[in-house]
Amino acid sequence: MDEKRRNFLKVAGISTLAGLGGTAVVDRLVAGSGIAHASGSAGHEVEAAKKSSGHGAAPDPSVNRYGMVIDIKKFQQDPSLGEKIVAACHSVHNVPQFPEKKDEIKWIWMTQFENAFPEKPNVYLDEATEKHQLPILCNHCDSPPCVRACPTKATFRNKDGIVMMDYHRCIGCRFCMAACPYGSRSFNWRDPAEFVKDANHIYPRRMRGVVEKCNFCDERVGAGKLPACVEACGESKALVFGNLNDPNSEIRKVLKENHTIQRNPSLGTLPSVFYIV
Amino acid sequence: MYDSGKIIPGLIIFVLFITIPIWYNRGAAGSVPKPVLPKDAKTCVLPAAEIRAEHMKLLNTWRDEVLRTGDRGTFEIEGKPYQKSLMMTCMKCHTSKKQFCDTCHVYASVKPYCWDCHIAPVE
């Protein structure tokens, strides 16, 4: 009896050791030799460090990253422009107009400077900035926190760098709304169907219980057109849309010629929407 | 058998009760739906038998290709280009949701959620 117990304890001890050490050994074997494994992970870190330095990785011209430059001065000169672009966007995308403010759905909207740039407070704000509003919309960040938060991948970053939504997958958990530092997302608390006036019959609307936001007019850009808001600006060039990764694009020219700012860049989300103040 | 006077009528009542759906709906079986086909279009994106069985899968494939992959390529039928779109392709020929989609869906008691968001043509 005693000897049996002694044997049992030996076997149990050896199996425990094998169990604890075994996975590590198998991992090593699978990943090749231990040294190769170590150098591999070190290389990865260097790569990651390079990527996070400055404003993201060096632009890769073979990949699109769409962005927008908003000239706030043009919106101050022509105060009607703001209404025009909001109306254009919301009618193209069947954005519902709810009577109550708390249900409001916004893709692009006009706001005060201090609301758009809370990290740039200024007691002695100039008159034009104080008096006029500027447009804000989804920033289509290069490193979007909403995409990381989404549990169903309903929100994703597409091949053109547009942060967009697959409403079929949205379960309405609103994690993305909590994750977005710019408040660019709205939730459909009510069924929007009856609040869409003069529906655009080539674009769907949304249903109750999903989050929605600006999609940088992916459906128009994909068809070779400009976003609806950019088109509504006409020749004024108040909004300039283009591929940030293409060094010869118009948007890059505008960015080179003007000093631009982004909304809350310190968060490291790398917004693709730039403002000329 | 003890208590056969109670058990046998009880069994009969039980059988009648659980077969309520069968005899209640006897003779009321709906006629096979006849969706109204478009007059001016002769060919669909797939042969009739295939599209009848697979249209929901095709719509899902189109959705994933267009939305997630960003592949908006068109396809051709009899030389005319068409987009991968429910609202812009399917419903352009099948102009009536009530007379086409709904006939079968109601008969089969299928409730697709397409129309929660997608807008049916005006009838």
- Please state the domain extents for chain A: 2-52, 66-276
* A202/B117 Cβ within 8 A: no
What pLDDT, on the 0 to 100 scale, is given for residue B78? Answer: 82
Question: Is B59 within 8 Å of chain A by CB?
Answer: no
What pLDDT, on the 0 to 100 scale, is given for residue A31? Answer: 73
User: How far apart (Å, rounded) are the C-alpha atoms in residues A26 and B59?
Assistant: 45
**Averaged over A163-189, what is the pLDDT?**
96
* B63/A158 Cβ within 8 A: no
* A159/B70 Cβ within 8 A: yes
Angstrom distances, CA of residue B121 to CA of A11, A66, A94, A209, B55: 74, 33, 15, 24, 19
What pLDDT, on the 0 to 100 scale, is given for residue A40? Answer: 43
**Averaged over A163-177, what is the pLDDT?**
96
A191, pLDDT greater than 70: yes
Q: Is the dihedral of CA A214, A220, A222, A227 positive or negative?
A: negative
What pLDDT, on the 0 to 100 scale, is given for residue A42? Answer: 44
Question: Is B72 within 8 Å of chain A by CB?
Answer: yes
Nearest residue of A to residue B116 by CA position?
A207
Residue with tokens 């709304």: A177
Angstrom distances, CA of residue A30 to CA of A25, A38, A93, B105: 9, 13, 51, 52
A222 CB neighbours in chain B (<8 A) are: 66, 70, 72
The one-letter code for the residue type at A1 is M
What pLDDT, on the 0 to 100 scale, is given for residue A2? Answer: 63
**Helix (H, G, I), strand (E, B), or coil: what is residue B7?**
helix
Contact A166, A181 (CB under 8 A): no
A251, pLDDT greater than 90: yes
Cross-strand partners of A157: A163
pLDDT tens per residue across span A205-234:
999 999 999 999 999 999 999 999 999 998
Q: What is the mean pLDDT of chain A?
A: 89
**Averaged over A77-95, what is the pLDDT?**
95
Contact A113, A130 (CB under 8 A): yes
* A166/B68 Cβ within 8 A: yes
Nearest CA to A118 out of A261, A268, A270, A273 is that of: A261
What pLDDT, on the 0 to 100 scale, is given for residue A73? Answer: 95
H/E element, A2 = helix A2-30
A223 CB neighbours in chain B (<8 A) are: 72
State the pTM of this model.
Answer: 0.78
What pLDDT, on the 0 to 100 scale, is given for residue B25? Answer: 81
What pLDDT, on the 0 to 100 scale, is given for residue A55? Answer: 54
What distance in Å separates residue B118's CA from the closest CA in chain A? 4
Query: Would you call A96 exposed, middle or buried from its count of C-beta atoms within 10 A (0-12, 13-18, 19+)?
Result: buried
**pLDDT profile of chain B (123 residues), mean per 10:** 91 95 79 88 90 95 94 87 92 93 92 94 87
User: How far apart (Å, rounded) are the C-alpha atoms in residues A228 and B105?
Assistant: 36
CATH class held by domain A66-276: alpha beta
**Averaged over A118-143, what is the pLDDT?**
93
What distance in Å separates residue B8's CA from the closest CA in chain A? 52
Give the end-to-end CA distance of chain B in Å, rounded to a whole number.
67
What pLDDT, on the 0 to 100 scale, is given for residue B80? Answer: 85
**Averaged over A252-263, what is the pLDDT?**
96
Q: Is the dihedral of CA A91, A96, A99, A102 positive or negative?
A: negative
The one-letter code for the residue type at A20 is L
pLDDT tens per residue across span A21-71:
887 787 877 776 544 444 444 444 444 444 444 455 567 778 899 999 999
**Averaged over A150-155, what is the pLDDT?**
96
